[in-house]
Each structure stands twice: as C-alpha cells, then as structure tokens.
Chain A
C-alpha cells in the first residue's frame, strides 16, 4: 500500500542507452513531480504535472522526457544516457500544488548509475 511507488529502485546502465523510470501514486493527488538528487544531496526539481498537464519544465536536457498517461502516473524516459545523469531520481506527489501548504510525498527513489 505504498503511497508513491517508483520502479526500478536500482538501475545500472551504459552510456548511450535509453532507460525509463515509472512512478505511480495511490493518494488521489493531482500534482506529480520528478526531482533529481545528485551526490551533493541537492534536490532539484525537473518536472511537475498537474492533472496530466505539464506545469514546470526546468532547465533539463531534452534527453529527459516525462509522460503522464493519467494523474496517478508520471514516467520519466531518458535518452542517450550520460555519466552526469548518475543520480537518485525521486518521484513525488502532492494534493494540489504546494503553495497552499500541501505536503509533498516522495517515492523511495531510483538510483541510476551510468557507466
């Protein structure tokens, strides 16, 4: 009954490959996010969707492409993986944005290592 679940948890892949990370939330939330956390632990937002609509698209290489088939799912596809893409990718969700004080619930993270 995990609230925000993402798969895979660990992913080791070679440079140049294409990979996807899937995310699902069963909280009934409208808003979903992808965050990247590098080795320095900084949390960087990549994308945010609200009811399947792209709201935030930060300065992220266009090799990263999110897709939200419905408001409970937000997947992340990464093309032509580079060494610098190695990081932990967190999916997250909130009821309806954040400024009204809605808590962001994070998934367990997907550890991506590019070799």
Chain B
C-alpha cells in the first residue's frame, strides 16, 4: 500500500533563512498532495496542496514542488519568520480510496531568532 516518508523529523533554521521539507511516496497512482501546518496546541490546517498534473505551486512565501518520476514532493518556506514554527505534515491520496490520505510523520520546524 501507499507509504509516505517525511524528512527531516526536526529542522532548525535561522529566522530569515529558507526551510525545505521533503516527502517521498510509494504509489505512483497518488494524485493529490497536501501540506498541513500544526502550531503548538492547535489543530492541523491546510497551507498548500498540489495535484499530480502540476509541477510547482506557490503562495507568497511557501511553495510546493512535485517530481512524479522520482515520487517525491517538497515544501519550501522562504524568509522564515517566528510564526512559521510548527509541525508540518505532508500527505498523499491513497489509490482506490476517496476518503483517506496517507500522512507523513511530521516535521517540527524551529525558527531561531
């Protein structure tokens, strides 16, 4: 079945620098890849997503890239700010299921002042 691996588990960057979180998936039929952000003590919230017919998508300081051949996708955050500190989850749709995402294990992003 589908498996999503997410790296690194913890990422510490200086404020103002860029952060990159990577995920790989196993099922080539996966076609939808969202990223969720979870601040401490809060609920996960969608920040950006990408579908398999698109290679890159941007929204202000965040962007997601997808490499279908290599079966990996990445979240890029530029000019990091303290409010970017959170746990970020990637996910991939599951073949044959309209109701289930396969989630990565999460990356804790720490922004150092």
Contact = CB atoms under 8 A, between A and B. Distances in A.
B100 to A, nearest CB: 6
Given A99-B31, A103-B34, A45 B100 contact: yes
B25 interface: no
Contacts of A41: 38, 87, 105-106, 108
Given A43-B44, A45-B103, A98-B93, 17 more contacts: A43-B89, A45-B100, A48-B100, A50-B99, A55-B99, A56-B100, A97-B98, A98-B32, A98-B99, A98-B100, A98-B101, A99-B93, A99-B97, A104-B36, A104-B44, A108-B42, A109-B43
A106 B100 contact: no
Contacts of A97: 98-99
Interface of B: 31-32, 34, 36, 38, 42-46, 49, 51, 87, 89, 93-94, 97-101, 103, 105-106, 108
Of B38, B45, B46, B99, chain A has the most CB atoms within 10 Å of the CB of B99
Given A90-B44, A99-B31, A101-B32, A42 B103 contact: yes
Nearest to B98: A97
Contacts of A100: 32, 98
A107 B45 CA distance: 10
Chief secondary structure at chain A's binding surface: loop
A96 B97 CA distance: 12
Contact of A106 (B44, B94, B99, B105): B44
A99 B100 CA distance: 8
Contact of B51 (A31, A101, A107): A101
Contacts of B94: 99
B34 A56 contact: no
A108 B38 CA distance: 11
- 3 cross-chain pairs, A with B, having the tightest CB-CB distances, nearest first: A97-B98, A106-B43, A99-B93
B106 A42 contact: yes
Contacts of B42: 108
A56 B108 CA distance: 28
Contact of A107 (B34, B43, B87, B101): B43
